[in-house]
Amino acid sequence: MSSSDLLRQPKQRKLLFSAGISWLFDAMDVGLLSFVVTDLAKKWSLTSSQIGVLTSINAIGMVFGAALAGIFADRFGRKTILLWTLLIFSVASGLSALAAGFTVLCILRFIVGVGLGGELPVASTLVSESVPVKDRGRAVVLLESFWAVGWILAAVVSYFVIPKYGWQAAFVIGAVPALYGLYLRRAIEDSPEYLSRRKEPKLTFGERFKRVWAPEVRRSTLMLWILWFTVVFSYYGMFLWLPTVMEAKGYSMVRSFEYVLLMTLAQLPGYFTAAYLIEKLGRKFVLVVYLLLTALSALWFGHAASEVSLLIAGICLSFFNLGAWGAMYAYSPEQYTTRLRATGVGMATAFGRIGGVIGPLLVGLMRDQSVPIATIFTMFFVTVLVGAAAVLFLGKETKGLEIND
């Protein structure tokens, strides 16, 4: 079944678009932050280390959000936790516009991160469990494609709003998802797999943790934790710094926003090609190939000397990196059975988010020490290769598998 056939089924189409819009808002908030810090750095005279702290504190919240939301989603349902996480991050984002100092903004961005980190694994688990097995991978990658739309919106909003109205206006726009939650409450249902098992005895956190590392799934868990850490570390280290890196290469704020918008547009075909190939060639193939090409693109971007080379390298980086993200979100829920699925994905995501804390913070420290951009992106090249190796040597192919308790 093609993606067009999948989208013709009303119930699946409604779920995909409803969850996708919430995913879009997640991406828009993360994207807005990458542009906001460029403006804040000037107006608040922030150092590179402070920018790193601000972007990392968001990721620290995502660590807690991913772990807790996964556990709660297995206990209270995917829909309930999805709605709560959406409300948490949108309200905190709106309040960020009122922050008068660096510390207060960091606290609010931590709360935003809790909501953001919780929503993503829960939404992917809900969609993965709610569509037929033959469409599962494609549906989750299509869900992930809404991330690119959110980043594109963030780039557009930043280009037109921040230079004229300031960073506060961008955060006010980030509060819009709270209103969307009212619609989402009626629009989606919990997955049939979860509903059929919700009356079963609930496991404690300790029992869930032991089962995630039980011998039969230990190899998959180790693979996922390495994969998530390396991908999230490199993504947030690279993409949250893109506008600032462009400025460091000599472009104005507006010009750097234009280039990042062009790079962001390349994310959509990255997702769509991954969505097509994932059911044709399998999860492992798509992940390994897209990660290898992400690593090469990062190396190219860091060493690009001309304007054209920099732009093309950035486009390739966006294309392959976000295609790999889509495949990763499709692959992760397929490693566990229903009772552990949200917990397993949530824990892997939470461990990955630690990489999202370290990445931006490390880039800030390296920039303060005048480490060349080429060296920084060589580090990301090596990191992504480690993630590709984990999938290649530890991962199993899950295309077409029924995964039940």
Model pLDDT, residue 380: 96
pLDDT at 1: 45
Structure tokens at 122: 């829960």
What size, in residues, is the chain?
A: 405
Q: What does the pLDDT read at residue 234? A: 94
DSSP string, 160-196: HHHHHH-HHHHHHHTTTHHHHHHHHHHH----HHHHT
Give residue 278's Cα distance to chain centre: 19
The per-residue pLDDT for 404 is: 59
pLDDT value of position 6: 53
Architecture of the structural domain at 7-183+204-394? Up-down Bundle (1.20)
pTM: 0.78
Cα separation, 11 vs 110, whole angstroms: 35
361, 56 contact by CB (below 8 A): yes
Report phi then psi at 305, rounded to 5.
Answer: -105, -30
Q: Cα 318 vs. chain centroid, distance in angstroms?
A: 13
Alpha carbon 180 to its chain's center: 20
What is the predicted pLDDT for the residue at 222?
A: 96
Token representation of residue 359? 């990445």
| Residues 381, 344, 274, 55, CA torsion sign | negative
C-alpha count within 13 angstroms, C-beta hemisphere, residue 67: 15
Segments in the chain below pLDDT 70: 1-9, 198-200, 203, 243-244, 249, 251-257, 400-405
Confidence (pLDDT) at 256: 67
Q: If you search the block for the tokens 């999948």, which residue do you land on?
A: 6
**Rounded-to-integer distance, Cα 282 and Cα 399, Å:** 6
| Residue 14: per-residue pLDDT | 82
What's residue 287's pLDDT?
95
* Residue found under tokens 């420290």: 365
Per-residue burial over 336-351, b = 16 or more CB atoms within 10 Å of its CB, e = otherwise: bebbbbbbbbbbbbbb
